[in-house]
Amino acid sequence: MKRSYFKTGKIVGNETWSDGSKHRFVMFHRKVSDIVNSITDANLTILEMHEPLDMKNKIKDPTVYPEDLVRLIGPTIIFKTKKI
């Protein structure tokens, strides 16, 4: 890990893929508590939460992300909510 989980906000970076091509990316990191608090602030109730580990759709190139690291990080959180 290169960045603390607790440091939130916009991340702008560059990466070089295994084919040598360079790519710029922009993403927004949020803690799970930030997401849950946003849901409750919107007057929604969380009915279910899922963290599927779908290895077939994860990055397969070990030069980008080593497989042992990929297996430790959940790629997606899905919330089923209901308006209060």
Write down the pLDDT at residue 18: 81
Per-residue pLDDT of the chain (84 residues; tens, 9 = 90+): 577 889 999 999 998 888 889 999 898 989 999 999 999 999 999 999 998 876 665 666 666 667 777 777 777 889 999 998
Query: Distance between CA atoms of 28 and 80, rounded to whole angstroms?
Result: 21
Write down the pLDDT at residue 71: 72
Write down the pLDDT at residue 76: 82
Write down the pLDDT at residue 56: 62
pTM exceeds 0.75, yes or no: no
Please provide residue 42's backbone torsions phi and psi, each rounded to the nearest 5 degrees.
-90, 15
